[in-house]
Amino acid sequence: MRKIRYREALREAMSEEMRRDASVFLMGEEVAEYDGAYKVSQGMLAEFGEKRVIDTPISELGFAGIAVGAAMNGTKPIVEFMTWNFAILAFDQIINGAAKMLSMSAGQFGCPIVFRGPQGTAGQLGAQHSQMLTNMLASVPGLKVISPSNAYDAKGLLKSAIRDNDPVMFMESEVMYSDMGEVPIEEYLIEIGKCDVKREGKDVTIVSYNKMMKIALQAADELAKENISAEVIDLRTIRPLDIETILQSVKKTNRLVIVDESWPFTSVASEITFQVQRYAFDYLDAPIRRVCGADASMHYAPNLVEQYLPSVSKVVEVVKAVL
């Protein structure tokens, strides 16, 4: 199987869907003439033209609103945010518009739209450019939230997101765009709302998503050196949450550790913890533990960035504690 970069997998997904469906178009800051801030849309302007690959002003609230209106009128916009940190400005259109349109119109208007772009930390970018907003958006009824950790999942899930009739938040990572991964040449789709067991094990379940999957898998490798068998599950989709796959794993391993870059209070890890304790409490042999980002704004200093984030050593320490 060929290997391509994460950004190339996203580009292929968008291009394939735009060839397949003339109602799909891409809009955002620098997506056209500049080939994308992270070169995800490189070459797409040349193929599809300026009516389907559209550069926007630096106005997230404005172009998100245009996209919501376009989706209500029969098109399928893909909106690229240069970063989800900037998308906070567009939350009114996303939360009060896209998420509620179907119910507020009594089913008369849907909103098939994909909002995508990077989130979370990417080195020394400071407090305003390092935020994980997955948990905020996943708390909103009417939105689907996807956050893939590799090129294969990114392509299959983005194609499914573009075809979906609901608004989808597709949350990537700036530091994964150059990651290489195996991606088939043949077309494929990945169902929204399904976890993936990336590594089977019997002693403890580790659940994660996005770039923290790298930490989870590396921690599992370190634990294996001490004969600790960790099962590692990639959420892939945050909402709808595939709790059944997690429960099946916990019933086998009897222990759960969640690795989540989000702030700990009301995090994705918090929701998973609640649901597992509700539906599989009798199977737990130890309290559920989580390894989250610090309960603070991100600092610029590199030593504080390191202290802020989950790490392999922190995950290994917590796993040993639950064992």
Active-site residue flag, 129: yes
DSSP code, position 42: T
Do β-strands 114-118 and 53-55 pair in parallel, antiparallel, or remain unpaired? unpaired
Active-site residue flag, 299: no
Beta carbons within 8 Å of 263's beta carbon, 6+ residues apart: 132, 135, 292, 293, 294, 295
- Which string of b and e fits 210-240 if b means at least 16 CB within 10 Å? bbbbbbbbebbeebeeeebebbbbbbbbbbe
Among 8, 12, 17, 129, the one annotated catalytic: 129
- Please name the residue that has the structure tokens 């379940």: 205
Among 12, 17, 29, 60, the one annotated catalytic: 60
Contact 150, 280 (CB under 8 A): no
Do β-strands 24-28 and 76-80 pair in parallel, antiparallel, or remain unpaired? parallel
Neighbour count for residue 311 (Cβ, 10 Å): 16
- Both tokens assigned to 21: 């469906």
DSSP code, position 297: P
**Residues marked as catalytic:** 60, 129
